[in-house]
């Protein structure tokens, strides 16, 4: 991922260009002088169902735990 640093005093004047960079995958570091204060990263949307079958849940997953589980060990 490419990275670009920009001082806060310049952000408003270049906002449209910065947003274009974000859309193209560039990470932007906002600085105050030489001190980094924030990081802007491109938004990545996720698609449900891409990993179907990669995990499972047991049939008794939501059944109550036995009393022995809750009993305090001496």
* Interval 6-65: pLDDT, tens: 999 999 999 999 999 999 999 999 999 999 999 999 988 888 888 888 888 899 999 998
Decide if 56 is inside a domain: no
Asked whether 28 and 20 are in contact (CB, 8 A), the reply is no
Angle of CA points 33, 37, 40, to nearest 5°: 115
Domain tally for the chain? 1
Q: Which domain holds residue 18?
A: 1-43
62 domain residue, yes or no: no
Do residues 31 and 7 touch, judged by C-beta distance below 8 A?
yes
Supply the CATH number for residue 3's domain.
Answer: 3.40.1620.10
Report the predicted TM-score, pTM, of the whole model to 2 decimal places: 0.60
Residue 71 lies in a domain: no
On whether residue 51 sits in a domain, the answer given is no
Any domain includes 7: yes
- The DSSP element (H or E) to which 35 belongs, if any, is strand 35-40
């Amino acid at each position: 991922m490419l990275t670009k640093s920009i001082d806060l005093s310049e952000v408003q004047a270049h906002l449209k260009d910065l947003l274009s960079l974000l859309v193209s995958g560039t990470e932007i570091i906002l600085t105050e002088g030489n001190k980094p204060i924030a990081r802007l990263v491109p938004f990545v949307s996720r698609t449900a169902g891409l990993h179907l079958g990669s995990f499972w849940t047991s049939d008794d997953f939501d059944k109550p735990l036995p009393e022995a589980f809750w009993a305090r060990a001496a």
